């Protein structure tokens, strides 16, 4: 499944080919998808999102401490 290895999504491939998403996913996994590079990129994005969420939670806690949370704006 060259399309998946090139960065295409399962849904995109299913729409283009008319093959079910389950079959595309199975064939993709059998063909080495996701690649090691794609796995590393996904892990990097997940780490960035997790770091952002920690900062967001800290900001929300600070606003709540100051009495400026959603209920008091």
Instruction: List pLDDT tens digits, range 17-55.
Output: 999 999 999 999 999 999 999 999 999 999 999 999 999
Q: What are the C-alpha distances in Å from 56 to residues 28, 52, 53, 61? A: 36, 6, 5, 9
Distance from C-alpha of 48 to C-alpha of 54, rounded to nearest angstrom: 10
**At 72, is the pLDDT very low, low, confident or very high (cuts 50, 70, 90)?**
low
Q: pTM value?
A: 0.70
Q: Are 24 and 10 in contact (CB under 8 A)?
A: yes
> Residue range 6-24: average pLDDT?
95
- In total, the chain counts a number of residues equal to 73
Q: What are the C-alpha distances in Å from 20 to residues 15, 36, 49, 66? A: 9, 25, 30, 52
The domain limits of the chain are 1-34, 35-73
């Amino acid at each position: 499944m060259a399309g998946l290895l090139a960065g295409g999504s399962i849904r995109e491939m299913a729409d283009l080919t008319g093959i079910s998403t389950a079959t595309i996913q199975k064939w993709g996994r059998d063909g080495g998808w996701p690649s090691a590079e794609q796995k590393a990129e996904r892990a990097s994005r997940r780490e960035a999102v997790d770091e952002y969420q920690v900062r967001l939670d800290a900001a929300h806690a600070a606003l709540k401490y100051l009495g400026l949370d959603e209920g008091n704006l």
